[in-house]
Amino acid sequence: MAEAPGTTPDPAQAPDPGRPGDAPRSRSLELALSQVLIAGVAASAAIIGLGAIGLLASTSMNMHVDYSRFIPPESGSQSLRAVLHGVSMLDARAIMIAGVLLLIATPIARVLFSLVSFARQRDMLYIGITTIVLAVLAYSLFYGKV
């Protein structure tokens, strides 16, 4: 764990722009991932905002909410199909949940995007690692029956 004395670099040393073993940092990948994330959160916030306005416009302002007790959902109501059906009926709650699901999908889209990028770089090692992460995420979606 401890390094031999004398090998500890001085923090004030001149910048060290890299070593032969360093992985190439892909600026284009970094910028693309940044754009995927921004697009995902912006679209999600906009859809949730629309749904919230619709909800407040269609319910009585005096309606009280109570979340002090967890109420298990009706079976079948918590599926992607039910949400999409609700959205097609312009149901405000379904639109809000669609926005939330889009937000959950954003990091998954980021992983998918990385896979494309590693494939372009023909980086077999990271194509494999990214595929494992995607498989685990896919299993969770299947297990969650979205």
Partner 1 sequence: MTILTFMLLVFAGSVLAGCLGALTGLGGGVVIIPLLVLLFGVDLRYAIGASLVAVIATSSGAAAAYVREGYTNVRLAMLLEVATTIGALVGVYIAGQVDSLVIMYVFIAVLFWSAYSSLREPKPLPPSDAVDSLAIRLKLPSTYPTKAGPMHYGVRHIPGGLGIMFIAGVLSALVGIGSGVVKVFAMDRLMRLPFKVSTTTSNFMIGVTAAASAAVYFHRGQLDPVMCGPVAAGAIVGSLLGTRVLVKAKTRALRIVFACVVGLMGVQLLIRALTGKV
Which of the residues 49 through 78 are near partner 1 (CB under 8 A)? 49, 51-52, 55-56, 59, 61-65, 67-73, 77-78
Q: Which is nearer to partner 1, 79 or 120 (CB)?
A: 79
Q: What is the DSSP string of 29-46?
A: HHHHHHHHHHHHHHHHHH
What is the torsion angle, in degrees rounded to the nearest 10, for the CA atoms of residue 43, residue 47, residue 49 and residue 50? 140
Measured CA angle at 77 (ends 42, 41), to 5 deg = 10
130 binds partner 1 (CB under 8 A): yes
Q: Please tell me the count of residues contacting partner 1 according to CB under 8 A.
A: 84
81 binds partner 1 (CB under 8 A): no
Q: Which is nearer to partner 1, 67 or 88 (CB)?
A: 67
- Least Å distance, CB 75 to partner 1, is 10
